[in-house]
Amino acid sequence: MTGERRISLRVNEQDHELDVAPRTSLADALRDQLGLTGTHLGCEHGMCGACTVWVGGESIRSCLMLAAQADGCEVTTIEGLAENGSQHPLQESFSKHHALQCGFCTPGMIMAAADLLQRNPDPTENEVIDWLGGNFCRCTGYRSIVSAVMDAAGNGSGEPASSSGVEVTANNHHPITENGR
């Protein structure tokens, strides 16, 4: 294609060279050229968080980043989060707390939450709620997600979300709010 540019990406500890068009997003390059379809595309406008991956060790929205902008970068997707065949604690915790239903939001939620836990291994519930405020889930009601993150951080009760005292609801402005905050 005219204007394609060759870029280098290190994705999930594997080196790749890709020819990308100027307007190819990182999300499309990951999904369409590398087959890493665990990165989901929802809004494609930076609003839902489904496309969250790490670039340079920090979570970003891969629908908003051009693949060319990531040239030379280290990228981690949900496929790369497990280590040595063992699931990341968040992956285990999401399963334990039933923090997913359709699963569409889940890779982005987990990549965002994993970034929070590497920055802040001991978050409060409100910090989890605030951090994940840009990740939308249309199935779970969010409570189980917050419980899963707290449990993975070692701050949860270890019990499923239904026993949590946290009241978390969704609204149109901030997807995770506590007691109408």
Stretch that binds ligand FES, among 16-24, 100-108, 111-119, 157-165 (CB under 6 A): 100-108
Q: Amino acid letter at 92? A: E
User: 6 or 138, CB closer to ligand FES?
Assistant: 138
44, 71, 74, 130: which one binds ligand FES (CB under 6 A) = 44
In the chain, what are the helix, strand and coil shares in percent, each to the nearest 5? 35, 20, 50
Q: 7-19 in b/e burial notation, b at 16+ Cβ within 10 A?
A: bebebbeeeeebe
4, 8, 23, 46: which one binds ligand FES (CB under 6 A) = 46
- Residue 42 near ligand FES by CB under 6 A: yes
- Residue 100 near ligand FES by CB under 6 A: yes
Query: Residue 16's beta-bridge partner residues?
Result: 9
52 in the Ramachandran plot: left (φ > 0), alpha (ψ -120 to 50) or beta? beta
- Residue 178 near ligand FES by CB under 6 A: no
Residues lying near ligand FES in the complex (CB under 6 A) are found at 41-44, 46-51, 61, 63, 100-106, 137-140
